[in-house]
Amino acid sequence: MNKKGQTLILFVILIPILLGLCALVIDVGLIVNEEVKLKEVSKSIIASTIGEVSIEEIKRLYQENDIPINNLKLEVDPYEIRVQNEYEIDSIFGSIIGIHNYKISIDITGVRENEEVIFE
Protein backbone atom coordinates (compact mmCIF):
# COMPACT_ATOMS: atom_id res chain seq x y z
CA MET A 1 0.00 0.00 0.00
CA ASN A 2 1.18 3.48 -0.85
CA LYS A 3 0.78 5.72 2.22
CA LYS A 4 2.65 8.80 1.01
CA GLY A 5 0.86 12.07 1.72
CA GLN A 6 -1.10 11.02 4.81
CA THR A 7 1.08 13.14 7.06
CA LEU A 8 0.65 16.12 4.76
CA ILE A 9 -3.15 15.88 4.98
CA LEU A 10 -2.99 15.65 8.78
CA PHE A 11 -0.62 18.64 8.85
CA VAL A 12 -2.92 20.71 6.63
CA ILE A 13 -5.90 19.94 8.87
CA LEU A 14 -4.12 20.61 12.18
CA ILE A 15 -2.19 23.81 11.34
CA PRO A 16 -5.29 26.10 11.19
CA ILE A 17 -6.56 24.60 14.45
CA LEU A 18 -3.20 25.18 16.18
CA LEU A 19 -2.95 28.72 14.81
CA GLY A 20 -6.48 29.45 16.00
CA LEU A 21 -5.67 28.20 19.49
CA CYS A 22 -2.51 30.32 19.58
CA ALA A 23 -4.51 33.39 18.52
CA LEU A 24 -7.08 32.68 21.23
CA VAL A 25 -4.38 32.36 23.88
CA ILE A 26 -2.82 35.67 22.80
CA ASP A 27 -6.15 37.53 22.91
CA VAL A 28 -7.14 36.05 26.29
CA GLY A 29 -3.68 36.94 27.63
CA LEU A 30 -4.14 40.49 26.38
CA ILE A 31 -7.52 40.78 28.12
CA VAL A 32 -6.27 39.32 31.42
CA ASN A 33 -3.17 41.52 31.37
CA GLU A 34 -5.23 44.67 30.83
CA GLU A 35 -7.74 43.72 33.56
CA VAL A 36 -4.95 43.05 36.07
CA LYS A 37 -3.23 46.31 35.13
CA LEU A 38 -6.48 48.27 35.61
CA LYS A 39 -7.17 46.59 38.96
CA GLU A 40 -3.67 47.06 40.37
CA VAL A 41 -3.35 50.66 39.18
CA SER A 42 -6.78 51.44 40.65
CA LYS A 43 -5.87 49.91 44.00
CA SER A 44 -2.59 51.80 44.06
CA ILE A 45 -4.28 55.10 43.20
CA ILE A 46 -6.99 54.61 45.83
CA ALA A 47 -4.46 53.69 48.51
CA SER A 48 -2.24 56.68 47.74
CA THR A 49 -4.97 59.31 47.46
CA ILE A 50 -7.53 58.31 50.10
CA GLY A 51 -7.76 60.98 52.79
CA GLU A 52 -6.14 63.66 50.64
CA VAL A 53 -8.53 63.39 47.75
CA SER A 54 -8.12 65.29 44.54
CA ILE A 55 -10.17 64.15 41.56
CA GLU A 56 -7.77 65.83 39.15
CA GLU A 57 -4.85 64.01 40.77
CA ILE A 58 -6.65 60.67 40.39
CA LYS A 59 -7.31 61.36 36.70
CA ARG A 60 -3.68 62.40 36.17
CA LEU A 61 -2.43 59.17 37.75
CA TYR A 62 -4.64 57.11 35.44
CA GLN A 63 -3.34 58.98 32.41
CA GLU A 64 0.27 58.48 33.54
CA ASN A 65 -0.40 54.74 33.54
CA ASP A 66 -1.90 54.83 30.01
CA ILE A 67 -5.41 54.02 31.17
CA PRO A 68 -8.24 55.81 29.36
CA ILE A 69 -10.47 57.97 31.56
CA ASN A 70 -13.32 58.69 29.12
CA ASN A 71 -15.78 56.62 31.19
CA LEU A 72 -14.12 57.11 34.58
CA LYS A 73 -16.59 57.65 37.43
CA LEU A 74 -15.40 58.63 40.88
CA GLU A 75 -17.26 58.83 44.16
CA VAL A 76 -15.01 60.50 46.69
CA ASP A 77 -15.43 60.84 50.46
CA PRO A 78 -12.69 61.58 53.00
CA TYR A 79 -12.64 57.91 54.06
CA GLU A 80 -13.84 56.18 50.90
CA ILE A 81 -13.15 56.24 47.17
CA ARG A 82 -15.17 54.31 44.61
CA VAL A 83 -13.73 53.98 41.13
CA GLN A 84 -15.67 52.75 38.12
CA ASN A 85 -13.90 52.68 34.81
CA GLU A 86 -14.68 51.04 31.50
CA TYR A 87 -12.88 51.12 28.19
CA GLU A 88 -12.24 48.97 25.16
CA ILE A 89 -9.03 47.51 23.83
CA ASP A 90 -8.48 46.39 20.28
CA SER A 91 -8.45 42.71 19.46
CA ILE A 92 -5.36 41.29 17.81
CA PHE A 93 -6.76 38.11 16.31
CA GLY A 94 -10.42 38.26 17.31
CA SER A 95 -11.17 40.47 14.33
CA ILE A 96 -10.75 37.40 12.14
CA ILE A 97 -13.99 36.04 13.62
CA GLY A 98 -15.69 39.42 13.98
CA ILE A 99 -14.62 40.50 17.48
CA HIS A 100 -12.90 43.83 16.96
CA ASN A 101 -12.47 44.95 20.58
CA TYR A 102 -12.89 43.78 24.15
CA LYS A 103 -14.48 45.68 27.03
CA ILE A 104 -12.41 46.09 30.18
CA SER A 105 -14.16 47.35 33.30
CA ILE A 106 -13.66 47.73 37.03
CA ASP A 107 -15.78 48.74 40.01
CA ILE A 108 -13.67 48.92 43.15
CA THR A 109 -14.11 50.72 46.45
CA GLY A 110 -11.37 51.54 48.91
CA VAL A 111 -12.30 52.32 52.51
CA ARG A 112 -9.92 53.64 55.15
CA GLU A 113 -10.34 51.85 58.47
CA ASN A 114 -7.85 52.23 61.32
CA GLU A 115 -5.14 53.69 59.07
CA GLU A 116 -5.56 50.76 56.65
CA VAL A 117 -7.17 50.74 53.22
CA ILE A 118 -9.61 47.88 52.64
CA PHE A 119 -10.84 47.11 49.13
CA GLU A 120 -14.34 45.91 48.43
Domain boundaries, the chain: 6-119
pTM score of the predicted model: 0.82
Judge residue 97's burial from the number of C-beta atoms within 10 Å of its C-beta, 0-12 exposed, 13-18 middle, 19 or more buried.
Answer: exposed
Query: How confident is the model over 72-92, as pLDDT tens digits?
Result: 999 988 888 899 999 999 988
pLDDT reported for residue 94: 82
pLDDT for residue 2 is more than 70: no
- For residue 37, the tally of other CB atoms under 10 A from its CB is 14
Per-residue b/e over 2-19, b at no fewer than 16 CB within 10 Å?
eeeeeeeeeeeeeeeeee
